[in-house]
A = this chain, B = another copy of it.
Amino acid sequence: MDSAANSVLALSGGVGGAKLALGLADVLAPGQLHVMVNTGDDFQHLGLHICPDIDTLLYTLSGNANAAQGWGLEGESWHVMDALARLGGDTWFRLGDQDLATHLRRTALLAQGDNLLQVTDLLARQLGIASHIHPMCDSAVRTTVHCEDRDLPFQHYFVKEQCAPAVTGFSFAGIADACPNERVMALLDSGAVSAVIVCPSNPFVSIDPILQVPGLWQALRDAPVPVILVSPIVAGLALKGPAAKMMAELAVPVTARGVAQHYCEQYPGLLDCFVIDDSDATLASDIAALGVEVAVTPTIMKSREDKQQLARSVLALAGV
């Protein structure tokens, strides 16, 4: 396979999306996979520039992710956090020792004038990753979670409050001024992309921020390549994270059809194929009625083989 003429572009948030990205990286040729990653979760903490979703991709694709825990690094230690606690510091966002090194490196590189695209690329290369990891944009976009009684920066909602508050909506500060990652746009323009895979990430806080970077979803819609989305909701449950809870609070049906409807309404004409799990096969005709092709296949990724199999399935749907 000629990787230059057959790049695959995946869109991903954190842990849930990274599972499929890992499967795709496994079954594609080295360098063939490009992952465009949500940066709405990024924040400054303890003076460090932290990119949780990018880091999840870095750790997952380099084989360093802690699979049992579901986040962070394998063999991580916590000496800095323990010492920081003794000094009365903020420890609600637990930064492991190895993870801290990533943030220190990123923060130092940004301070010396590199942009987030360059820094992410350098970190990926240092970790020996053959795939390309692209922040959705270079400028700061920050997700705010609107809750019934207050607005919360994403990490405060997600980590500090552990997703407890009921959500009423989301906004992405800075998105109106953001430009889609120029490397991804150049790749699309060059005709090198043969498929776009939207990973099973949270629609509201992982994929929406990416698609709402001005001009991006329209560019994906207009590119002559299939756009295939894997439902993050299976049998009424989120594969990972608060997506199902959010849908319930937003009065969206907590089903794969609810997800499909969100995308069809928000981004008309974008999706060429909506992939649902075998267990949701009875929803296929209802989803097809929204005007999108539906594919039914096992989508739950527990083992490495599951991830590779789902990757093969979506690539086959795309004709790659």
Contact = CB atoms under 8 A, between A and B. Distances in A.
Interface of A: 46-48, 77, 79-84, 86-90, 97-98, 100-102, 104-105, 107-108, 111, 122-123, 126-127
B84 A101 contact: yes
> 6 closest A-B pairs (Cβ-Cβ)?
A83-B101, A79-B97, A83-B98, A84-B101, A89-B105, A87-B105
A104 B84 contact: yes
Given A47-B47, A89-B101, 5 more contacts: A47-B104, A77-B97, A80-B101, A87-B123, A88-B122
A31 to B, nearest CB: 20
A72 to B, nearest CB: 12
B88 A105 contact: yes
B80 A104 contact: yes
In the complex this chain forms, how many copies of it are found? 2
Contacts of A80: 80, 97-98, 100-101, 104
B88 A47 contact: no
Nearest to A75: B79
A104 B50 CA distance: 14
A108 B46 contact: yes
Contact of A47 (B87, B89, B108, B127): B108
Q: What secondary structure prevails in chain A residues at the interface with B?
A: helix
B79 A126 contact: no
B47 A86 contact: no
A155 to B, nearest CB: 15
A90 B77 contact: no
A84 B90 CA distance: 22
Contacts of A86: 101, 126-127
A73 to B, nearest CB: 9
B123 A102 contact: no
A97 B96 CA distance: 10
Contacts of A98: 79-80, 83
Identify which of A46, A82, A123 gathers the most chain B CB atoms within 10 Å of its CB. Answer: A46
A128 B111 CA distance: 35
Contacts of A107: 46-47
A104 B111 CA distance: 16
Contacts of A101: 79-84, 86-87, 89
10 contacts: A46-B108, A79-B101, A80-B101, A82-B101, A83-B98, A83-B102, A84-B105, A88-B105, A88-B122, A88-B126
Nearest to A123: B87
